[in-house]
Amino acid sequence: MKLTILGCHSASPHEHKNPTAQLLDIKGHRFLIDCGEGTQVQLRKSKVSFVHIKHIFISHLHGDHFYGLPGLVSSFRLLGREAPLHIYGPEGIKEALTLLLKLANSRTNFPLHFHELESKKSECVYEDDSVVVYTVPLDHRVYTNGFLFAEKEGMRRINADAAYAAGIDKSQFRLLQLGQDVLVDGDLVKNSTVTQNPHPPKKYAYCSDTAFLPSIIPIIQDADWLYHEATFLQQHANLAQQTKHSTAQEAATIARDANVQRLILGHYSSRYKNLDLFAQEAKSIFNNVILASDGAVIS
Amino acid sequence: MKLTILGCHSASPHEHKNPTAQLLDIKGHRFLIDCGEGTQVQLRKSKVSFVHIKHIFISHLHGDHFYGLPGLVSSFRLLGREAPLHIYGPEGIKEALTLLLKLANSRTNFPLHFHELESKKSECVYEDDSVVVYTVPLDHRVYTNGFLFAEKEGMRRINADAAYAAGIDKSQFRLLQLGQDVLVDGDLVKNSTVTQNPHPPKKYAYCSDTAFLPSIIPIIQDADWLYHEATFLQQHANLAQQTKHSTAQEAATIARDANVQRLILGHYSSRYKNLDLFAQEAKSIFNNVILASDGAVIS
């Protein structure tokens, strides 16, 4: 699991402060999460191949999470993309993209699938053999979802040396991976003697933008990584409340109570020059905190 | 008259290749012309005060000329703008901006006036005491206008030393500026003896995007500066024709036949590494050519 922070600042973009966008590499998938203005340039800077992005998850339709999407879709078209593109986001996202394409008198030469969200309860929005994605309903000024990206449990891992020593033929490896015991010349070889448990499945929870919202805790419980917005410090808790954003302390409280492994903070208001204060404030509640920064890769 | 090139590249933005946007300072006005993705960051880099931009002219609704506008309008709002903003562009621009604002559940706290264009003939879209702006209908894949920004003739310039020497009182200067002769102790002082002609009014013609289109020549005739797109070199004239763009040679032909003073080229296709070839090709037709580059200031 690898997370690339393309942008982690709130509101208006500045030269070295990009609005929100992240790229999650998980089980062979490359998921784009939010797409503020300038995301395509950030992708190019990170030398990410555009064509491998097949699913884009948009939390809400504020500009700093969304206004890079029309340009990215347009660039996909210019690059001759043929692979289908799936876009998950609030109701209205299809109307907006479709109108912009129509006004440009252009159509995508690849299938563009919209998955419009309107539920206020967590729901599964994507699933395949290796990964499942759930929404995390948030509390912001417009309809907003975070997303939980969860690996599925993998297969048992074969200790090949032990398996061959026990006389097991490679043709039986699939059975071992599935957890079955196998017969060798009539003798039963116990699965546990030649395999190890699968790698524990990873979970990444992305929560932006939101007011302090303890109801998300059961959904994101035990996640390996939690990205939680921290637009403000506690000294501006009143602003956080008014604008339905969180403070670093609130983000850390969610991280602690959800028992996550690591908290990643971002979405800083441009009023703060010293971002270390976010880490300091959060660490008074929850120790394993890192600050997102544009271009950072977390793995 | 001062022109700041915020972006001069075609199609997808890259780290150091911004899509089209220009800022024209003329007679105390600051006009924004086109607004590709990333324009607000380019404005910040150029240290331009956002609040002085009161009129935005959008040539057409392709992303590389337009997708920075929603974010810029949104930033105006976040910055607490109160001054009215006028946006001139193709029919549909109001619907697009209005939908994006609605989806973000936000409204501007300043008056937002749309001036939607649909005429295929040149028309006056803005006029005040000092400046007039006309459309320059172009030939592209969607409805597109260039713009001609023309200063009005100013007042006669007083030679103050000569005027005082002739005994003229400062209270009569306004009459001199208006070209009138004045009486000093019963004697007529001829205007021309104490004033000079006004500065010749300047004209800037902006033409992007377009196929080679000689019908614009009467509209842009004798302009001081002509920005004309040159997406391709002549070796790719077939691509220019297919995509309704121009070559450097075609842009230079327009410049020569319209008798402009200076030709500014831009909107280069990303296929060309050596942009000097654009200047070379154009100079075989028209000598006074400069290549636009992001961040350049022309005055």
- Identify the domain boundary among A196, A219, A247: A196
The number of CA neighbours under 13 Å toward the Cβ of B228 is 38
Residue with tokens 């209005």: B98
For residue range B177-220, list pLDDT tens digits in order: 999 999 999 999 999 999 999 999 999 999 999 999 999 999 99
* Interfacial residues of A (vs B; Cβ cutoff 8 Å): 11-15, 37-38, 40-41, 44-45, 61-63, 67-68, 70-71, 74-75, 78-79, 90, 92-93, 95-96, 99-100, 102-106, 141-142
- Identify the domain boundary among A142, A166, A196: A196
Q: Are residue A227 and residue A150 in the same domain, yes or no?
A: yes
Q: Are residue A94 and residue A182 in the same domain, yes or no?
A: no
For residue range B98-143, list pLDDT tens digits in order: 999 999 998 898 999 999 999 999 999 999 999 999 999 999 999 9
Q: Are residue B93 and residue B230 in the same domain, yes or no?
A: yes
Q: Are residue B145 and residue B175 in the same domain, yes or no?
A: no
**Contact at 8 Å (CB) between A115 and A32?**
no
The number of folded domains in chain A is 2
Q: Are residue A91 and residue A227 in the same domain, yes or no?
A: yes
Active site residue B64: yes
For residue range B225-272, list pLDDT tens digits in order: 999 999 999 999 999 999 999 999 999 999 999 999 999 999 999 999
Ramachandran angles phi, psi of B219, nearest 5°: -75, -40
- Identify the domain boundary among A196, A218, A246: A196
Q: Are residue B143 and residue B178 in the same domain, yes or no?
A: no
Of B35, B15, B12, nearest in space to B23 by CA: B35
Does position A11 have pLDDT exceeding 90, yes or no? no
| Domain residue limits at B282 | 2-154+199-298
Tell me what the pLDDT averaged over chain B comes to.
Answer: 96
Q: Are residue A181 and residue A205 in the same domain, yes or no?
A: no
Nearest CA in chain B to A95: B99
Of A254, A273, A271, A274, nearest in space to A262 by CA: A254
Neighbours of B107 (CB within 10 A): 11
Amino acid B279: pLDDT: 98
CATH number at residue A233: 3.60.15.10
- Residue contact B75–A41, C-beta within 8 A: no
Ramachandran angles phi, psi of A108, nearest 5°: -75, 145
CA–CA dist B20, B24 (Å, integer) = 13
Question: H-helix or E-strand containing A240?
Answer: helix A237-243
ipTM of the modeled complex: 0.91
Q: Where does the pLDDT of residue B11 fall: very low under 50, low under 70, confident under 90, or very high at 90 and above? A: confident
Q: Decide the pairing of beta strands B225-229 and B262-266.
A: parallel
Q: Are residue A110 and residue A210 in the same domain, yes or no?
A: yes
**Contact at 8 Å (CB) between A298 and A46?**
no
Catalogue the E-assigned strands of chain B: 2-7, 21-26, 29-33, 55-57, 85-90, 112-117, 124-127, 131-137, 145-151, 157-158, 182-184, 187-189, 195-196, 203-207, 225-229, 262-266, 289-291, 297-298
Amino acid A107: pLDDT: 87
DSSP state of A114: E
- Residue contact A15–B78, C-beta within 8 A: no
For residue range B15-48, list pLDDT tens digits in order: 899 999 999 999 999 999 999 999 999 999 999 8
In chain A, what percentage of residues exceed pLDDT 90?
96
Q: Are residue B286 and residue B171 in the same domain, yes or no?
A: no
Amino acid A272: pLDDT: 96
Q: What is the pTM of this model?
A: 0.93
For residue range A39-93, list pLDDT tens digits in order: 999 999 999 888 899 999 999 999 999 999 999 999 999 999 999 999 999 999 9
**Contact at 8 Å (CB) between B212 and B256?**
no
Amino acid B49: pLDDT: 86
Neighbours of A19 (CB within 10 A): 30
- Residue contact A13–B41, C-beta within 8 A: yes
Nearest CA in chain A to B38: A38
Nearest CA in chain A to B90: A103
Does position A168 have pLDDT exceeding 90, yes or no? yes
**If you average pLDDT over residues B60-65, what whole number do you get?**
97
Q: Are residue A173 and residue A94 in the same domain, yes or no?
A: no
Q: Where does the pLDDT of residue B51 fall: very low under 50, low under 70, confident under 90, or very high at 90 and above? A: confident
**Contact at 8 Å (CB) between A94 and A116?**
yes
Q: Are residue B209 and residue B249 in the same domain, yes or no?
A: yes
Of A25, A34, A64, A224, the active-site residue reads: A64
**Contact at 8 Å (CB) between A39 and A63?**
no
**If you average pLDDT over residues B55-61, what whole number do you get?**
98
Ramachandran angles phi, psi of A75, nearest 5°: -70, -40
Amino acid B50: pLDDT: 87
Instruction: Report the phi/psi class of residue B78: left, alpha or beta, with left for phi > 0 and alpha for psi in -120 to 50.
Output: alpha
Does position A287 have pLDDT exceeding 90, yes or no? yes
Amino acid at site B275: L
Amino acid A259: pLDDT: 98
Of B34, B64, B209, B294, the active-site residue reads: B64
Q: Are residue B147 and residue B64 in the same domain, yes or no?
A: yes
Does position A27 have pLDDT exceeding 90, yes or no? yes
Ramachandran angles phi, psi of B82, nearest 5°: -120, -20
CA–CA dist B42, B33 (Å, integer) = 13
